[in-house]
Amino acid sequence: MRVLDAGAGSGRNLIYLMRHGCKVFGVDVDAQAVEHLRGLALSYGDPSPAENFRVATVEQMPFADAVADAVICSAVLHFARSKEHFEAMLHELWRTLRPGGLLFCRLASRIGMAFELVREGIYRVGDAEWFLVDEPMLLHYTHQLGGEQVDPLKTTLVQGHRAMTTWVLRKPIAR
């Protein structure tokens, strides 16, 4: 299985997958995190970690179309600077996913909580400003992408501070 982690950080989402023989890829904007990922991949026998782990943004990933059976994007999309930036990241995630593959996103949302609107799409969450989605937006993007929800949206409220939603889609197989 080929798994891409968009916004991989230090690789916490990839360790289990590497241990079980998955071919993993990742991007992060933090060069130190990417170096850590490369070392981690080497320790699990990956012969080409420099190619598989790159310093890049989610909206401009240096990987081929349909490179991954699964794409993970955990706690990244809410850092979008605008609706257009969010959509650019989302379309890049979808581009790298093979037909029939799974997109797993965990992102901050407005589902179940109210936040102060700062500007279009951007809300104050504690002392930060995040791009927050809601259920109609996620359903709209699901339809726009032509994706199929694999699981209902699930939202966890984090002690009155934020709401984190899990959004899982399957990319259709072209017929």
- Residue-range domain boundaries for the chain: 2-170
Number of C-alpha atoms within 13 angstroms, CB side, residue 75? 8
Nearest to 106 by CA among 142, 70, 75: 75
Question: What are the structure tokens assigned to 55, written together?
Answer: 């310093």
Tell me what pLDDT residue 106 has: 98
What is the number of other CB atoms lying within 10 angstroms of the CB of residue 15?
14
- This prediction has a pTM of 0.94
Structure-token match 């401009």, residue found: 60
For 42-96, the pLDDT digits (tens) are: 888 877 778 899 999 999 999 999 999 999 999 999 999 999 999 999 999 999 9
- Superfamily of domain 2-170 in CATH is Vaccinia Virus protein VP39 (3.40.50.150)
For the four alpha carbons of 85, 86, 88 and 93, in that order, the dihedral sign comes to positive
